[in-house]
Amino acid sequence: MININEIEKAAEKIRKAKYGIAFTGAGISVESGIPPFRGENGLWNKYDPIFLEIEYFRKKPLQSWKKIKEIFYDNLIKAEPNKAHIVLAKMCKRELIESVITQNIDNLHQKAGSKYVYELHGTYKQLVCTECSSEYDISFADLNFLPPTCYICKGILKPDMVFFNEPIPLFAKNRSFAEAKKCDLFLIIGTDAEVFPANSIPIAAKETGATIIEINIKESHFTNTITDIFLKGKATEVMTKLGELLYLD
């Protein structure tokens, strides 16, 4: 049950903020049918994440691609934004939220209409050649033939998502920290805050003095450390209520 006093407090903070930003994790996409990585139904409970480790991918691209296609591509291609993505996009349109920093690779914020989205862990929508660095939209690849190869040099194509033991994209990292240091309101939606350096971005916002509002179905590592207002509930339910309180049509 959503705590109405807390959510009205949160709506007021969002309304009055000078520069609000959002930070999202897998939890915002669970209600679009995309399983989270940890917790109930978490992918890492079922699969060994080794297939997403960069050295493993380089040594065994076919085995890695078979798992990547099964777990990500077969799922993400048909996923649609849910009410939480849609309300967040409306907040962006109304400039209540200036940008979205996401750990997700599912492109659902963009599909919902959010304009300034910084993808810390890359995207499934793009493939990159491991030899010549040519880039392709996923629509150019036929994933019935794995591993996909580059039309130019025949090199193996890799999803443009950050694998374990790979650095996060410099542009997304720099922009995200810059946004966190500029904001006075920071809305965290659906993350366990387990993964570095992504999990240091909300801390940077807190150190700047931003008000931290967190939406999650259960407490995370942030809840009893940096969170000022904890809205316990499913992202779609809480965001729908916030949308009503902020008169987003």
Question: Which residues contact ligand APR by CB under 6 A?
Answer: 25-27, 30-31, 36-39, 42, 103, 121, 190-192, 194-195, 215-218, 220, 234-235
C-alpha distance from residue 211 to each of 12, 21, 22, 125, 197 (Å): 12, 11, 12, 33, 20
For ligand APR, which is the closer residue by CB, 102 or 149?
102
Nearest distance in Å: CB 181, ligand APR:
21
* Dist. CA 145–CA 153, nearest whole Å: 17
Listed in sequence order, the residues at least 6 apart from 126 whose beta carbon sits closer than 8 Å to its beta carbon are 135, 136, 137, 138, 159, 160
For ligand APR, which is the closer residue by CB, 19 or 164?
164
Give Cα 104 to chain centroid, integer Å.
3
Nearest distance in Å: CB 38, ligand APR:
4
For ligand APR, which is the closer residue by CB, 103 or 123?
103
* CB closest to ligand APR, residue no: 27
Nearest distance in Å: CB 131, ligand APR:
25
Long-range contacts (CB closer than 8 Å, 24 or more residues apart) made by 134-139: 135/160, 138/73, 138/77
Closest CA to 127 of 177, 161, 80: 161
Which one is catalytic: 85, 109, 121, 221?
121
Q: Which two tokens stand for residue 65?
A: 């691609």
Answer yes or no: 85 catalytic.
Answer: no
For ligand APR, which is the closer residue by CB, 27 or 169?
27
Nearest distance in Å: CB 144, ligand APR:
26
* Dist. CA 104–CA 109, nearest whole Å: 9
**Among all residues, which ones are annotated catalytic?**
121
